[in-house]
């Protein structure tokens, strides 16, 4: 059935034209205020499942026009949510994933500017899970289409700088021992207050039980601006922007160097590291963000050699700290760290 029916039917046996009409009706349902959230999610799942068939259809351009308007409307007008089990959060994430899966061709190029404007905006407001997809979209679209420089690029670089600036102030909270959140009902949770000290996805235990007797658990997702996972992905995009818009961002990128130096020397307090509830997973996220940051420095080092030279003691301290603290079990990170350290050392050598 279409949107009026409020449910998602099976469509495999339909002829191609009817099938595309069904898919269009699913897209329409996503923006229908009278449709249940659960049915909207099912409609999006059906679209996602058959996305390749949709893209291959001769009617794809008209479908894309219809879908993109609604996708952008939902993502821009709907409020970000921070509980991963909410249907609308799953819907938002699925829409982003579908946008990411769309082929980067001339059909998509028509929507390049509105998509990028939206993606850059969501970085500042949405949650970690959704923004991780936004970042992949930003990378893909910039690599493929090399859009003209826009003020959004500078705003993005400012966003990244702010994340680096804020990190030292968050470090203590990130590693403070936490007691699991247990409540009788999700309505008791002040999500906004909780987000102020959420840096990684965390469970919220409820006293409600499923039929099998297990407790119902929700997960709170950090805001992207507080997320170490997001921070880990940002340096590669800054490098991409530098490659594409070197002239326009040259001074902006120079501003990163002192921030990089501050970032690579950060470490949790010893009392946090020694605590029995020390979160090793979050620690690895921090190390990963620091190593990606060092790799970024290694990339730009020769171009900004004089600026880097002013910070050489911090650079050495940061590399030694990371080599000491990076856990052996994350071999891929240790390898990347060794490569970044080598390039940083070579880059700072006097000719």
Say what angle helices 16-30 and 60-77 make with each other, to 10 degrees.
10
Residue 110, token pair as written in the block: 């028509």
Residue whose C-alpha is closest to residue 126's, from 210, 226, 218, 2 = 226
Please check the confidence at residue 330 and state whether its pLDDT lies above 70. yes
The neighbouring-strand residues paired with 67 are none
What's the pLDDT at 105? 95
Phi, psi of 217 (to 5 degrees): -120, 135
H or E segment and range at residue 325: helix 312-325
Residues of the chain with pLDDT > 70, as a percent, come to 94
- The band of 346, judged by pLDDT with boundaries at 50, 70 and 90, is low
Residue scoring higher pLDDT (164 or 213): 164
Residues with Cβ within 8 Å of 233's Cβ and at least 6 positions away in sequence, in order, are 132, 135, 292
Please check the confidence at residue 2 and state whether its pLDDT lies above 50. no
Residue whose C-alpha is closest to residue 232's, from 135, 100, 117, 115 = 135
Phi, psi of 30 (to 5 degrees): -60, -30
Site of tokens 């987000």? 195
Phi, psi of 148 (to 5 degrees): -60, 150
Residue whose C-alpha is closest to residue 263's, from 233, 230, 231, 241 = 231
CB-count exposure of residue 334 (10 Å: 0-12, 13-18, 19+) = middle
Please check the confidence at residue 350 and state whether its pLDDT lies above 50. no
What's the pLDDT at 177? 86
Q: Find the range with the poorest average confidence among 122-126, 153-157, 186-190.
A: 186-190
Q: What is the mean pLDDT of the chain?
A: 92
The CA-atom distances, in angstroms, between 265 and each of 79, 146, 217, 260, 319 are 36, 34, 36, 9, 8
What's the pLDDT at 4? 40
Distance CA 338, CA 316 (A): 13
* Cα 1 to the center of its chain, rounded Å: 34
Please check the confidence at residue 349 and state whether its pLDDT lies above 80. no
What's the pLDDT at 347? 57
Please check the confidence at residue 39 and state whether its pLDDT lies above 70. yes
The neighbouring-strand residues paired with 202 are 220
Residue whose C-alpha is closest to residue 233's, from 162, 129, 339, 135 = 135
3-class DSSP state for residue 223? strand
Residue whose C-alpha is closest to residue 269's, from 164, 165, 168, 161 = 168
Q: Find the range with the poorest average confidence among 169-173, 203-207, 233-237.
A: 203-207
* Cα 45 to the center of its chain, rounded Å: 21
CB 1: neighbour CB atoms within 10 A? 12
pLDDT, tens only, 47-81: 999 999 999 999 999 999 999 999 999 999 999 99
What's the pLDDT at 9? 54
The CA-atom distances, in angstroms, between 217 and each of 74, 84, 86, 128, 194 are 27, 10, 12, 19, 16
What's the pLDDT at 8? 60
What's the pLDDT at 43? 97
Contact between 138 and 237 under an 8 Å Cβ cutoff? The reply is yes
Contact between 238 and 271 under an 8 Å Cβ cutoff? The reply is no
């Amino acid at each position: 059935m279409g949107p009026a029916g409020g449910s998602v039917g099976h469509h495999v046996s339909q002829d191609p034209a009817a099938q595309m009409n069904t898919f269009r009706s699913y897209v329409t349902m996503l923006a229908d205020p009278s449709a249940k959230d659960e049915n909207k999610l099912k409609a999006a799942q059906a679209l996602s499942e058959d996305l390749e068939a949709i893209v291959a259809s001769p009617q794809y351009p008209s479908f894309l026009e219809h879908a993109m308007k609604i996708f952008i409307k939902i993502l821009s007008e709907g409020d970000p949510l921070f509980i991963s089990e909410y249907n609308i959060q799953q819907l938002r994430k699925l829409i982003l994933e579908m946008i990411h899966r769309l082929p980067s061709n001339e059909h998509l190029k028509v929507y390049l500017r509105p998509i990028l404007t939206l993606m850059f905006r969501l970085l500042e407001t949405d949650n970690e899970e959704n923004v991780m997809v936004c970042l992949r979209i930003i990378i893909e679209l910039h690599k493929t289409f090399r859009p003209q420089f826009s003020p959004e690029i500078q705003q993005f670089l400012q966003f990244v700088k702010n994340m680096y600036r804020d990190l030292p102030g968050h470090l203590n909270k990130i590693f403070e021992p936490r007691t699991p959140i247990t409540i009788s009902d999700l309505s008791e949770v002040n999500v906004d207050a909780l987000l102020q000290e959420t840096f990684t996805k965390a469970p919220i235990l409820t006293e409600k039980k499923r039929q099998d007797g297990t407790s119902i658990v929700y997960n709170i997702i950090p805001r992207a601006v507080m997320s170490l996972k997001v921070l880990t992905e940002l340096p590669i995009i800054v490098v991409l922007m530098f490659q594409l818009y070197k002239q326009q961002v040259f001074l902006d990128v120079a501003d990163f160097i002192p921030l990089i130096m501050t970032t690579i020397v950060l470490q949790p307090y010893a009392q946090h590291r020694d605590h029995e509830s020390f979160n090793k997973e979050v620690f690895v996220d921090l190390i990963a963000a620091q190593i990606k940051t060092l790799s970024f420095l290694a990339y730009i080092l020769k171009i900004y050699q004089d600026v880097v030279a002013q910070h050489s003691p911090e650079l050495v301290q940061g590399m030694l700290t990371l080599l000491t603290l990076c856990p052996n079990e994350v071999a891929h990170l240790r390898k990347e760290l060794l490569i970044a350290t080598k390039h940083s050392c070579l880059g700072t050598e006097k000719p």
